[in-house]
Amino acid sequence: MPRINNETDLEYKRRVIDIKSDSFCGAKWYNATIWLGSGQTTSCHHPLPHAIDAEEIKHNPKALHNTQKKKMEREQMQKGERPSGCEYCWKIEDIGRENISDRVYKTVIYTDKDLETAYAKPASNDVDLRTLEIAFDRTCNFGCSYCNPAFSSTWVKDIDTNGPFTGLTSDGRNHFTHSHGSSQLYKFGEYNPYVEAFFKWWETDLHRSLLELRLTGGEPLMSGDTWKLLEWFKNNDNRVNPDMRFAMNSNLGAKDDLIDRLIEASHSLKHFHLYTSNESMSQQSEYIRDGLVWDTWANNVEKVLTNGRIEGFHMMCTINALCLDSLDSFLDCCLNWKREYGKDFPTFSLNILRFPSFQSPLVLPDDIRNTYKLKLQAWFNANKNDPMLHQFELNQLQRLIDYLDVVKTPHMGAAEQSVLQQDFKKFFTQYDQRRGKNFIETFPSLVEWYNSI
Footprint of ligand SF4 (CB under 6 A): 25, 27-28, 43-44, 46-47, 86, 88-89, 102-103, 106
CB of 22 to ligand SF4, least distance (A): 11
Considering the complex, state which of residue 73 and residue 137 has its C-beta at the smaller distance from ligand SF4: 73
CB of 83 to ligand SF4, least distance (A): 7
Considering the complex, state which of residue 48 and residue 412 has its C-beta at the smaller distance from ligand SF4: 48
Give which of 40, 88, 44 is closest to 67, Cα–Cα: 40
Considering the complex, state which of residue 106 and residue 338 has its C-beta at the smaller distance from ligand SF4: 106
Give, in order, the Cα–Cα distances in Å from 351 to each of 40, 163, 320, 348: 25, 30, 9, 10
**Residue type at position 276:** T
CB of 51 to ligand SF4, least distance (A): 17
CB of 24 to ligand SF4, least distance (A): 9
Considering the complex, state which of residue 67 and residue 266 has its C-beta at the smaller distance from ligand SF4: 67
Long-range contacts of 18-21 (CB under 8 A, 24+ apart): 20/78, 20/115, 20/119, 21/77, 21/78, 21/79, 21/80, 21/119
Radius of gyration of the chain measured on its C-alpha atoms: 23
Considering the complex, state which of residue 46 and residue 435 has its C-beta at the smaller distance from ligand SF4: 46
Considering the complex, state which of residue 103 and residue 180 has its C-beta at the smaller distance from ligand SF4: 103
Give, in order, the Cα–Cα distances in Å from 48 to each of 33, 42, 84, 86, 88: 11, 7, 10, 9, 11
**Residue type at position 171:** D
Report how far residue 170's alpha carbon sits from residue 413's, in angstroms, rounded to the nearest whole number: 10
In the three-class reduction of DSSP (H, G, I as helix; E, B as strand; rest coil), residue 163 is classed as: coil
CB of 310 to ligand SF4, least distance (A): 29
Report how far residue 275's alpha carbon sits from residue 254's, in angstroms, rounded to the nearest whole number: 14
CB of 314 to ligand SF4, least distance (A): 22
422 and 449 Cβ atoms separated by less than 8 Å: no
CB of 27 to ligand SF4, least distance (A): 4
Considering the complex, state which of residue 86 and residue 363 has its C-beta at the smaller distance from ligand SF4: 86
Q: Please identify the residue of the shown chain whose CB is closest to the bound ligand SF4.
A: 86
DSSP H helices in 289-350: 294-307, 327-341
CB of 45 to ligand SF4, least distance (A): 8
Span between the terminal Cα atoms of the chain, in Å? 55
Considering the complex, state which of residue 86 and residue 150 has its C-beta at the smaller distance from ligand SF4: 86
